[in-house]
Amino acid sequence: MVIEHFPEVRQLSAAEKLIFVSELWDDLAEHPSEVPVERHIIAELDRRMEDFRDHPDKFTTWETIQQKVLGRQL
């Protein structure tokens, strides 16, 4: 495990660990080309995008989902 190389992480509180994970995720998002992606995942994403383009009416926007779940207008 990678965490074994960073024992100080185990000393963090749960809240601090969540912040740490969020910051790691944000750092990865800043450099998406450096994140390895397996070919089968790329193929699946391509398949899903093609399905979306061919049948956009089958999908629900994020805004509509938020409105239904949270009961509010965005």
Which pLDDT tens digit goes with each residue over 50-62?
999 999 999 999 9
pLDDT of residue 1: 83
**Is 73 inside any structural domain?**
no
Burial environment of residue 65 by CB neighbours within 10 A (0 to 12, 13 to 18, 19 or more): exposed
Give residue-wise pLDDT tens across range 32-47. Answer: 899 999 999 999 999 9
**Is 12 inside any structural domain?**
yes
The radius of gyration computed from the CA coordinates of the chain, to the nearest angstrom, equals 19
**Is 63 inside any structural domain?**
yes
**Is 55 inside any structural domain?**
yes
**Is 39 inside any structural domain?**
yes
* Sign of the CA dihedral with 62 first, then 35, 8, and 2 last: positive
Looking at the structure of the chain, the number of domains it has is 1
Domain that holds residue 29: 2-67
**Is 31 inside any structural domain?**
yes
pTM over 0.85: no
**Is 7 inside any structural domain?**
yes
